[in-house]
């Protein structure tokens, strides 16, 4: 059957459903993804898109969306720049003996120095002790400070939480990832190679953040999985750790 080819022309740009996709200056301004095809091989193309994910106390790991589906006998090369952001103050877990003014705090990699003045906010019912205190350094994960009066005269206060508000409340983690994914004739996906480079590591004390490229052989898709662990809630000041990423893939046929 003969096929009639028509050229697409528009002096003022191009739109879909009344939303401008390409403006009069040939700028692509409102596309969910950009897919560049190889005219000589319809199984080879380049695609750029944005992915997102939100980690919180109930979801400490997830697959970022959207994912990309991979067919059998394919090679996919991925390049991504991923950024995580979180709003909150580091949280120390503390203990204080009955009728004692010494507050013993644990916060992994706290970065504080001996004698440093910090501002703290206790969780209820000890908010009356909120204030500024000079610390005594124990080690890289532990420190103490002294209150004017005991937190509790009759009972020990065990494994409670306090925020250290003299820290910044904004944190960022940025990573560049290069990866290659293989799909065999049975459409089994494997990660053939992975390279990660941390661009910025400004993670809150008490937290550990990570992200990895992953394949899902149930859905036959590839994406990235961020994860975190923390010594306390990640939602005290906000709703969790937000991840975003710019992904570029080159998708082609696999030759044997």
Tens digits of residue pLDDT in 190-220: 999 999 999 999 999 999 999 999 999 999 9
So what's the pLDDT on residue 150?
A: 97
Full-model pTM: 0.82
Average pLDDT estimate for 77-97: 97
Domain boundary among 138, 164, 190: 164
Question: Is the CB of residue 147 less than 8 Å from the CB of residue 133?
Answer: yes
What mean pLDDT do residues 42-63 have?
A: 93
Task: Kindly state whether residues 80 and 51 are assigned to the same domain.
Answer: yes
Closest residue by Cα to residue 250 from 125, 85, 84, 79 = 79
pLDDT of residue 6: 52
Domain boundary among 104, 131, 164: 164
Q: Identify whether 125 is preceded by a cis peptide bond (ω within 30 of 0).
A: yes
Q: How far apart are CA 12 and CA 109, in angstroms?
A: 57
Mean pLDDT for the stretch of residues 11-33: 66
pLDDT at 68: 95
The answer to whether 223 and 201 have CB atoms below 8 angstroms apart is: no
Please give the pLDDT value at position 1: 47
Query: Per residue in 157-180, pLDDT tens?
Result: 999 999 999 999 999 999 999 999
pLDDT tens, 108-139? 999 999 999 999 999 999 999 999 999 999 99
State residue 23's pLDDT score: 74
Same domain, 191 and 232: yes
From 134, 164, 194, the end of a domain falls on: 164
Report the chain's mean pLDDT, rounded to a whole number: 91
The string of pLDDT tens digits covering residues 226-242 is 999 999 999 999 999 99
Do the domain assignments include residue 78? yes
Supply the range of the domain harboring residue 175.
28-87+169-253
- In total, the chain counts a number of residues equal to 256
21 is a domain residue: no
Say whether both 100 and 197 belong to one domain.
no
Regarding whether 68 and 112 lie in a shared domain, the answer is no
Number of domains, the chain: 2
Six-digit token pair at 184? 């065999």
Model confidence band, residue 31 (pLDDT cutoffs 50, 70, 90): low
Domain for residue 194, yes or no? yes
Mean pLDDT of 28-46: 66
Which CATH number do you get for residue 135? 2.40.30.20
The 8 Å CB, 24+ separation contacts for 200-204 are: 200/172, 200/173, 200/174, 201/173, 202/171, 202/172, 202/173, 203/171, 203/173, 204/86, 204/88, 204/89, 204/90, 204/167, 204/171, 204/230
Q: What is the mean pLDDT of residues 35-56?
A: 81
Do 79 and 117 lie in a common domain?
no
Give how far the C-alpha of residue 129 lies from the chain's centroid of Cα atoms, to the nearest Å: 34
The string of DSSP codes covering the chain is: ----------TT-EEETTEEEE-TT--B-S-SEEEEEETTEEEEEEEEEEEEEEE-SS-SB---BS-EE--SSEEEEEEEEEEEEEE---EEEEEE-TT--EEEEE-TT----TT-EEEEEEPTT-GGG-EEEE-EEEETTEEEEE-SS-S-SSS-EEEEEEEETTS-SEEEEEEEEEEEEEE-TT--EEEEEEEEEEEEEEPPTTEEEEEEEEEETTTTEEEEEEEEEESS-S-SSSS-EEEEEEEEEEEEEPP-
- Structure token pair of residue 166: 């003299």
Lowest pLDDT segment from 79-83, 140-144, 236-240: 236-240
What pLDDT score does 214 carry? 97
d(CA 116, CA 130): 16
* Token code pair at residue 125: 């019912």
Residues 81 and 203 placed together within one structural domain of the fold:
yes
Whether the pLDDT of residue 256 is over 90: the answer is: no
Is the pLDDT at 104 greater than 80? The verdict is: yes
In the chain, the percentage of residues whose pLDDT exceeds 90 is 81
Residues 98 and 212 in one domain: no
175 with 246, same domain: the answer is: yes
Identify whether residues 178 and 80 lie together within a single domain.
yes
Residue 72 lies in a domain: yes
Q: How confident is the model at residue 43 (pLDDT cuts 50, 70, 90)?
A: confident
Looking at the structure, tell me whether residues 121 and 229 fall in a common domain. no
**176 and 248 belong to one structural domain:** yes
What is the bridge-based pairing of β-strands 241-253 and 74-87? antiparallel
């Amino acid at each position: 059957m003969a096929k009639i080819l028509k050229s697409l022309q528009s002096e003022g740009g191009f739109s879909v459903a009344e939303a401008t996709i390409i403006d009069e200056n040939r700028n692509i301004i409102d596309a969910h993804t950009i897919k560049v095809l190889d005219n000589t091989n319809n199984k080879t193309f380049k695609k750029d898109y944005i992915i997102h994910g939100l980690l919180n106390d109930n979801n400490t790991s997830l697959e970022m969306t959207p994912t990309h589906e991979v067919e059998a006998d394919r090679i996919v090369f991925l390049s991504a720049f991923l950024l995580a952001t979180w709003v909150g103050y580091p949280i120390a877990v503390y203990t204080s003996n009955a009728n004692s003014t010494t507050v013993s705090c644990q916060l992994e990699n706290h970065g504080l120095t001996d004698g440093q003045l910090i501002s703290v906010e206790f969780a209820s019912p000890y908010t009356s002790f909120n204030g500024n205190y000079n610390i005594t350094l124990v080690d890289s994960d532990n420190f103490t400070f002294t209150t004017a009066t005991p937190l509790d005269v009759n009972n020990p206060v065990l494994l409670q939480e306090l925020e250290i508000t003299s820290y910044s409340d904004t944190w960022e983690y940025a990573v560049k990832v290069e990866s290659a994914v293989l799909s065999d004739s049975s459409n089994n996906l494997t990660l053939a190679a992975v390279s990660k480079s941390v661009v910025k590591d400004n993670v809150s004390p008490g937290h550990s953040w990570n992200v990895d490229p992953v394949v899902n052989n149930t859905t036959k898709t590839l994406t990235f999985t961020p994860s975190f662990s923390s010594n306390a809630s990640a939602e005290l000041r906000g709703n969790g750790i937000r991840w975003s990423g710019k992904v570029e893939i080159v998708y082609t046929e696999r030759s044997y």
